[in-house]
């Protein structure tokens, strides 16, 4: 793993207490350092963010909010949380921020609890078309305690906007179902979201517009993707992915009354004590994202995604919607070969040192455990400093591995070993932060 004196010292300390866990952490560090991370929801944090999570802030219970805690001894925790909140508000240009959600799903839960009563109707995109499990999956809290209705992802086949959001259909669903909440923001949608048109759909039925920007938060913060403000009433997000912070959640709004409801819905409504060591790391990450160089990073993330998508299309892979406007793309493997599956591609590519995840494509005939596609993202490779030429090389490796996978097991293993060595060499040129 990358040489970092603080990390080395921490791991040596852990090893003296627990060599088993320390050994696994070292192995994971080595895995990350020597592989190409293309999972769209993952990134590499800076040493400052990583080490902020390993501080004495973890020792303290701080139930409540700054200035109104249920435990004593929170004076410095109040200041840390205030810094995180102020930086989040500045970053996204809004009036109120709650930095306590443990995750994006917890942020969505608190927002829903603040805005709806059990059994109320909300509208969203179904998971299989690029939504999220907390947007109404039946086995999730969102589908168990509320009534989800789903708008279609896209225009019909043959339409020039096929596989893009059909905003007219969103409006039609809202007129028919009159949901209390309209959700937008997705886990596998490669195009720009028109928040203004979503607000128009929400206004016609009196719904509250919630934008879950977990995937594009970093791009929004950098001005590379349009902001959901002033159109969305509430914005939820994770703090990792393109925002490049610790794993956690965040809720934003411009409405003071909604902010008060959200604060109560999160604590004591759905969470107890906040994870103050993670909030400290969020503050550090938000500070990094406020620097000018973060805008350069976000622009390169998008440039790399477009370059990777273009390079794959020249090799006969189909990119849903014909390309990407953000950090991710859905690759329909059947364009290259009808026998390719997402499950096989994920396994074969990982053996070659390229980490991806299988993903359904719109109207996928295959089940979720198999899929006809993979989801690729460029946030992590861009953090390492890779640019367009490296995206061309990565596309070539992907094609070599998948083409060999369709041959014999021997050919697959031989090609994977060869590509694995080339991947290690490239990673050696572009180290982790």
Domain spans of the chain, in order of start: 56-289, 296-429
In 56-180, which ranges are continuous DSSP H helix?
75-92, 104-115, 141-144, 167-177
Q: How far apart are the C-alpha atoms of 378 and 305, rounded to whole Å?
A: 6
pLDDT at 4: 80
Coil, strand, or helix at residue 357? strand
> Torsion over CA of 291, 251, 378 and 401, rounded to 10 degrees?
160
Catalytic residue among 69, 85, 164, 241: 241
Percentage of the chain beyond pLDDT 90 is 92
CATH of 296-429, one of 3.30.70.100, 3.40.50.300, 3.30.420.40, 3.90.1150.10: 3.90.1150.10
pLDDT at 70: 96
Mean of per-residue pLDDT scores for the chain? 96
> DSSP letter at 165?
B
User: For 141, phi and psi rounded to 5 degrees?
Assistant: -55, -35
pLDDT at 132: 87
Q: Is 238 a catalytic residue?
A: yes
pLDDT at 3: 66
Residue 176 CB neighbour total at 10 angstroms: 11
Answer yes or no: are the C-beta atoms of 360 and 429 closer than 8 Å. Answer: no
Question: Taken in order 221, 226, 231, 233, is the CA torsion positive or negative?
Answer: negative
Say if residue 34 is preceded by a cis peptide, omega within 30 of 0.
no
Q: Is 241 a catalytic residue?
A: yes
**Residue 69 β-bridge partners:** 64
- The first and second tokens of residue 164, run together, are 């893009």
pLDDT at 131: 83
Q: How far apart are the C-alpha atoms of 172 and 408, rounded to whole Å?
A: 51
pLDDT at 136: 84
Coil, strand, or helix at residue 319? strand
**Residue 250 β-bridge partners:** 237
Cα→Cα distances 186→58, 189, 202, 377, Å: 32, 6, 17, 14
User: For 316, phi and psi rounded to 5 degrees?
Assistant: 80, 15
- The first and second tokens of residue 302, run together, are 């998008």
Residue 7 CB neighbour total at 10 angstroms: 18
pLDDT at 219: 98
Catalytic residue among 4, 42, 63, 78: 63
Q: Is 212 a catalytic residue?
A: yes
229: left (phi over 0), alpha (psi -120 to 50) or beta: beta
- The first and second tokens of residue 57, run together, are 């802030």
pLDDT at 152: 84
pLDDT at 81: 98
Beta-carbon contacts of residue 323 (< 8 Å; ≥ 6 apart): 190, 306, 309, 310, 313, 329
Catalytic residue among 4, 61, 155, 400: 61
Catalytic residue among 87, 199, 244, 247: 247
Pairing status of strand 181-184 against strand 354-355: unpaired
Residue 336 CB neighbour total at 10 angstroms: 20
Catalytic residue among 238, 239, 242, 371: 238
CATH 3.40.640.10 is held by the domain 56-289: yes
Could you state, in chain order, the average pLDDT of each consecutive group of 10 residues for the chain (433 residues)? Answer: 79 96 97 98 97 97 97 98 98 98 97 97 88 88 94 77 90 97 96 98 98 98 98 98 98 98 98 98 98 98 98 97 97 96 98 97 93 98 98 98 95 97 98 95
Q: Is 63 a catalytic residue?
A: yes
Our measurement of the distance from residue 168's CA atom to the centroid of its chain's CA atoms, rounded to an integer in Å, reads 27
Element (H, E) at 69: strand 68-69
The answer to whether the predicted template modeling score (pTM) of the entire model surpasses 0.85 is yes
Say if residue 280 is preceded by a cis peptide, omega within 30 of 0.
no
pLDDT at 6: 87
């Amino acid at each position: 793993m990358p040489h970092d004196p603080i990390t080395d010292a921490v791991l040596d300390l852990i090893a003296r207490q627990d060599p088993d866990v320390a050994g696994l952490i070292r192995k994971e560090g080595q895995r990350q350092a020597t592989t190409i991370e293309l999972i769209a929801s993952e990134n590499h944090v800076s040493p400052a963010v990583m080490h902020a999570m390993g501080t004495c802030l973890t020792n303290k219970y701080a139930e409540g909010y700054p200035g109104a805690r249920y435990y004593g001894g929170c004076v410095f925790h109040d200041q840390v949380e205030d810094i995180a909140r102020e930086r989040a508000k500045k970053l996204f240009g809004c009036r109120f921020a709650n930095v306590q959600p443990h995750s994006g799903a917890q942020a969505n839960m608190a927002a829903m609890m603040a805005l709806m009563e059990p059994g109320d109707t909300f509208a969203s995109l179904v998971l299989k078309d690029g939504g999220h499990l907390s947007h109404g999956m039946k086995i999730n809290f969102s589908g168990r305690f509320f009534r989800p209705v789903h708008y279609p992802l896209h225009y019909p086949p043959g339409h020039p906007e096929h596989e893009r959001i059909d905003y007219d259909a969103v409006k039609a669903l809202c007129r028919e179902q009159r949901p209390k909440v309209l959700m937008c923001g997705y886990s596998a949608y490669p195009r720009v979201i028109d928040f203004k048109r979503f607000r128009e759909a929400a206004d016609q039925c009196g719904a509250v517009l919630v934008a879950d920007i977990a995937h594009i938060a970093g791009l929004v913060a950098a001005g590379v993707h349009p902001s959901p403000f002033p159109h969305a009433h509430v914005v939820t997000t994770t703090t990792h992915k393109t925002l490049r912070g610790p794993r956690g959640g965040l809720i934003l709004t411009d409405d003071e009354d909604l902010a008060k409801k959200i604060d109560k819905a999160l604590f004591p409504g759905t969470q107890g004590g906040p994870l103050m060591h993670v909030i400290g790391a969020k503050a550090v990450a938000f500070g990094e994202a406020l620097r000018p160089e973060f805008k350069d990073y976000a622009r390169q993330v998008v440039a790399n995604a477009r370059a990777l998508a273009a390079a794959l299309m020249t090799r006969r892979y189909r990119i849903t919607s014909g390309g990407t406007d953000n950090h991710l793309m859905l690759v329909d493997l059947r364009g290259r070969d009808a026998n390719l599956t997402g499950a096989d591609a994920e396994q074969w590519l990982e053996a070659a040192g390229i980490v991806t995840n299988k993903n359904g494509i719109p109207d996928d005939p295959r089940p979720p455990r198999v899929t006809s596609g993979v989801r690729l993202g460029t946030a992590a490779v861009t953090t390492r400093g890779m640019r367009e030429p490296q995206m061309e090389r990565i596309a070539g490796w992907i094609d070599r591995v998948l083409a060999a996978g369709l041959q014999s097991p021997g050919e697959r293993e031989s090609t994977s070993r060869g590509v694995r060595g080339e991947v290690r060499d490239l990673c050696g040129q572009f180290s982790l932060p």
